[in-house]
Homo-oligomer: A and B are copies of this chain.
Amino acid sequence: MATTEKDKPKKQLIREAAARLFRDKGYSATSMRDLADAVHLRASSLYNHISSKEEILKDICFENAYRFLATMEEVEQMDASATQKVMALLHLHIRTATEDFTSVTAFNDEWRHLSEPDLSAFKALRKNYEGRFQAIIEAGIRAGEFHSVEPAIALHTLFSSVRWLYDWYKPGKKITAEDLEEQMCRLLMKGMTKQ
């Protein structure tokens, strides 16, 4: 069953509100006051949950990075074809984009506002994930499962292709999350055209 807004812990609601403000107003222009208003808390109560917007940004970025790396670890252990591995990772990207709005912060541009040494640490995790995803694509090309394509182009096209879902998908849309995942996976794996 899908998680409803009410089931989410306060900390997650604060993070999602912050992600939305960072996206709408920009990270620099977002104040703790804006955030308190967005989650209907007094500023003083907000500080019981988090100490600064820098802390929220850091939490959001690293939680998302670790979640993606944990799934990568599982996928690499699978006794499966490159096609099945890429599909498992695509499902993760799509599900994350529809279920957790904070991922917009980590995977669009807001992570650029991290300060050092967090910025370099986050970039290294991102690079690690991208390198391992690209290795799976390369294995699929070598095995003759995938069309011959520059692996970096395939990688970034796949990553980027799900980035509209944050804004578009809402529980209650006439399409279910499962159908959406299936249609997008098919589109990316099999393409638009029938031949």
For residue A112, which residue of chain B has the nearest CB?
Answer: B24
- CB of A52 within 8 Å of the partner chain: no
Contact A149–B186 (Cβ < 8 Å):
yes
Measured CA separation A101–B115 after assembly (Å): 25
Q: Enumerate chain B residues within 8 angstroms of A157, measured Cβ to Cβ.
A: 161-162, 164, 184, 187-188
The answer to whether B153 touches A180, judged by C-beta atoms less than 8 angstroms apart, is yes
Do the beta carbons of A192 and B186 come within 8 Å of each other?
Answer: no
Given A112-B24, A160-B162, A194-B144, do A149 and B29 touch, yes or no (CB 8 Å)?
no
What is the minimal beta-carbon distance from A195 to any residue of chain B, in angstroms?
A: 8
Q: Within 8 Å CB of A163, what residues of B? A: 160, 163
Minimum CB–CB distance from A34 to chain B (whole Å) comes to: 12
Does the CB pair B183–A150 fall under 8 Å?
yes
A83 at interface by CB-CB < 8 Å: yes
* A164 and B156 contacting across the interface, CB-CB below 8 Å: yes
- A58 in contact (CB, < 8 A): no
Within 8 A of B (CB), among A103-159: 108-109, 112, 137, 140, 144-147, 149-150, 152-154, 156-159
- Mask of A175-195 contacts with B, CB within 8 angstroms, 1/0: 100001001101111111110
Q: Which residues of B contact A146 (CB under 8 A)?
A: 192-194
- In the complex, which of the residues B27, B108, B153 contacts A26, with contact meaning CB atoms closer than 8 Å? B27
Is the beta-carbon distance between B149 and A187 smaller than 8 angstroms? Answer: yes
**Residue A23 at the chain B interface, CB threshold 8 Å:** yes
Residues on B with C-beta less than 8 A from A192 are 83, 86, 137, 140, 146-147, 149, 154, 158, 188-189, 191
Question: A161 CA to B137 CA in the complex, in Å?
Answer: 17
**A3: Cβ under 8 A from any B Cβ:** no
Q: Which residues of A contact B (CB under 8 A)?
A: 23-29, 83, 86, 108-109, 112, 137, 140, 144-147, 149-150, 152-154, 156-165, 168, 175, 180, 183-184, 186-194
